[in-house]
Every structure is written in C-alpha cells, then in structure tokens.
Structure 1
C-alpha cells in the first residue's frame, strides 16, 4: 500500500527549534526561547568568566557569579542596568548585552569609548560612563558568554584601541 506523503506530514507532530545565526568565533548556537545551557552558566553559585572594559580602554576577563546580584553590582561598581542595542546584536549575531552603572552620570564617571560605540551615542549624544561588563540575554536571565577569551580576542581584533593591563 502506498502512503500519501502529504497525509504523513500532517499527522506527524511538528517540533520547532528556534535558532538564530551566531558568530562562529564563539562556537555557540543561540536557541530562543529555550536555552541549551544551564541557568546563568554557573552551577551552584560559582563564578564564571566574562569580559570587562574600563573607560581607559583596558579589556580583561573577570570572574563573576551571574546568580549573585551584588557581585554583578560590584563588577560595574554600582547599580547596574542592562543595555541591549541593534549595534550589539549586529556585531555579535547573538543577544549580547552590556551591564553598565546606571548612576554613571551622577558619579561623574569617565566615558567608556567601546560602550558608547555599542550604545550608538554618536546618534543621540548620551554616552556610556564607567565600566562595561558583557553578558548574554537569555529571556529574563543574564548569562556569561560561553567563551570569554574568544570574546576578548574578537573585541581586541575589531577595536584596536583596547589594551590589556
């Protein structure tokens, strides 16, 4: 008996995987809305690696527990806010965000050149002030990049003014 392929296709349950194209430098595949990695990429409150850039263009890999709100505040030296822009997404081809000090203006912090570039400050005139910590948006969660060293290398290759201590 011949099967009608159209009938078989309709009777099969459809499974849909939401994928977006990610930068092969990081060797990751972004899945939305479900994530394949464990929550916040840290197990049991352990610190994981991410990238930090200071206003004096120093880039470094730091350890942060993304499950600890106070540790994230310490990483940006203040109450943090998340910044997500089209420029960030187009650069990394994944939902990269920046964590920045939301009170940078009141604290009179210095302009962060890289953060201001990703924030499109040249268009609207509002720069990013203070340190910038990079993360990945995963729904309502914030996760560490899967490979902080690769992220640091990528940034240094594309923004020659960045330097290590």
Structure 2
C-alpha cells in the first residue's frame, strides 16, 4: 500500500508503506518526513476531508481512512512552511502553519487500536490527483 509525501518545495511523491515492526515503520516514516524528525505529530486537517473528500471514518478496512503526519518539532528546527499542508490544515484561518515535509497515510482499526498503514486504492485514486493539483498550484505561487 502507498503513502504520499509532499515536500516544502511542493514536490509530491509516492512511497510504499514500510514493512516490519512498529519501531521499523516509525523510523522510516520519520526519515520520509525529514532528516531531523525525531517525533511526528498525527494531524487530521479539515480540508483533507471537507475539500478533497478523504474519508474521516476509521474502520477495519486498511487505509480507508487517511490522515497527515508532520514533524512535531518542525518550528523548533526552523523548517520551511509546507504550503499544501498549511492549506489542508486551514492555516489561513488560525495562523498556525505546517512546516517541513508531510506524509498522507492510511489508518486501520485493529485489535490493539488504530494503526497507520498505506492508503487504500480507492482513497489513493481519489486523493492523489487532487493533491497533485494542489502542489502544482503551490509551486506556481512560489
């Protein structure tokens, strides 16, 4: 299953969700967010659901629900603003920007609670073209 990465340069890329233990998965996710990322934050940005139509109901189908991961300490590290992430997070309404690279990941309800996973094919087909268009518009503004 796939995850989507959007950089501060408004470049979008697709990656496989990492295999292995939670420790291994978290290490790879942090590396994708950025080389200084030691702790990521789980974010559920309104526009991802309201404007792009992503599902916000976590269920037992892997990746049927999506969310965003960001560098929790990005402001401390003086990372650049992520235009796409900030748009999704409605920064224009409250002033708190998303900085650093972001990941769009899937979620699944499992026996021990909610886990991150890749994005379902249906959610990926819905979101990727819209996120690609969003990053293109952000590049044109820069």
Shared fold, TM over 0.5: yes
1:56 aligns with 2:30: no
Which consecutive unaligned segments of at least 5 residues does structure 1 have?
1-47
Taking a change above 3 Å as real, the CA distance of residues 158 and 128 of structure 1, as seen in their structure-2 partners, is: closer
SS for the counterpart of 2:8 is coil
RMSD value, Cα: 2.2
What is the number of residues matched between the two proteins?
A: 116
Deviations 1:70-99 (A, max 9, x none): 111111121211100322222224032111
**Superposed displacement of residue 137, structure 1:** 3.0
Deviations 1:39-91 (A, max 9, x none): xxxxxxxxx42110001101111233164111111111212111003222222
Q: Which whole-Å CA distance do the structure 2 matches of 1:131 and 1:157 have between them?
A: 17
Counterparts of 1:12-51 in structure 2, within 5 Å, are 48-51=1-4
1:83 aligns with 43
2:130 aligns with 154
Q: Which runs of 4+ in 1 moved over 6 A?
A: none
1:7 aligns with none
CA contact (8 A) 1:64 1:75 kept: no
Which consecutive unaligned segments of at least 5 residues does structure 2 have?
57-65
Give the structure with the larger helix fraction. 2
Query: What's the TM-score, normalizing by structure 2?
Result: 0.71
